[in-house]
A = this chain, B = another copy of it.
Amino acid sequence: MEKDKLTALGEIKLFEGLPQPQLKSLADIAQLRGCKAGETLFEAGQQGTHFFAVVSGKVRVYRASLSGKEQILSVFQAGESFAEVPVFEGKTYPASAQALEDSVLLSIPRKGFVELLRREPELALGVMALLSSRLRAFVGQIAQLSLKEVPERLAGYLLLLRASQGRDELTLDLPKGQIASYLGTIPETLSRAIKKLTELGLIEVAGNRVSVLDPEGLAALAEADR
């Protein structure tokens, strides 16, 4: 079991390149746990003493409004870590997290991790790079929400998917309702945006399969603004 934990830790991108002894000391303090699809890991505002890494499965991080609308901030998959913010600052989670699928997670307590960072400047630089990339992503998300309309945001999202999947035949990584929530809208509006891109001849959609017919056109739309 201890060994599983060690393997799991080694598969987290943030810990790549960490020397074996340090990995071991992480394994001493990390917890390995499973969780069911739909399970809430934490809620915005709660005290956050641990941060997490995804060994398998999928977790969404989001903010909810009282009326039930939700904005997804990110979705994390195997190898990624999340909820680092309260480790370094403020101590409460700025958002909520929920498993989208049955998942296996590592949870790492704040205390021991900070100790490790003091001793491992390269790991610290890795954390700074990770936080920075997240900042960059958020800057993009804020700009999209504020400056672009839904079809343009959708075009941008599809281009991201295309880049990550490396081909024009895409498989949507999330149910459409969740994509809507990530794009800052609702399923009805997403549905109409998809129809619009289809009518423009940019994509073809069947279920959760999307064919990108005109990447340049999509890119042009994604860049466009009012």
Residues of A that sit less than 8 Å from B by CB: 63-67, 69, 71, 73, 84-90, 94-95, 114, 117-119, 121-122, 124-125, 127-136, 138-143, 145-148, 184, 223-226
- A15 vs chain B, min Cβ distance (A): 16
A121 to B113 Cα, complex, angstroms: 13
- A184 vs chain B, min Cβ distance (A): 4
A65-B133 contact given A118-B125, A125-B88, A140-B94, CB 8 Å threshold: no
Which of A89, A95, A118, A226 has the most chain B CB atoms inside 10 A of its CB? Answer: A89
Task: Please tell me if the beta carbons of B147 and A88 are within 8 angstroms of each other in the complex.
Answer: no
A91 to B87 Cα, complex, angstroms: 25
Which of A69, A117, A143 has the most chain B CB atoms inside 10 A of its CB? Answer: A143
Closest 4 CB pairs between A and B?
A89-B132, A65-B225, A131-B131, A71-B146
- A82 vs chain B, min Cβ distance (A): 11
Task: Please tell me if the beta carbons of B138 and A142 are within 8 angstroms of each other in the complex.
Answer: yes
Please give, as numbers and ranges, the residues of chain B lying within 8 Å of A114 by CB-CB distance.
125
A224-B124 contact given A85-B135, A89-B133, A142-B73, CB 8 Å threshold: no
The residue of chain B having its C-beta at the shortest distance from the C-beta of A127 within the complex is B128
Please give, as numbers and ranges, the residues of chain B lying within 8 Å of A148 by CB-CB distance.
65
- Having A63-B147, A88-B132, A118-B125, one finds 6 other A-B pairs with CB under 8 Å, namely A63-B143, A94-B136, A95-B143, A114-B125, A128-B131, A145-B145
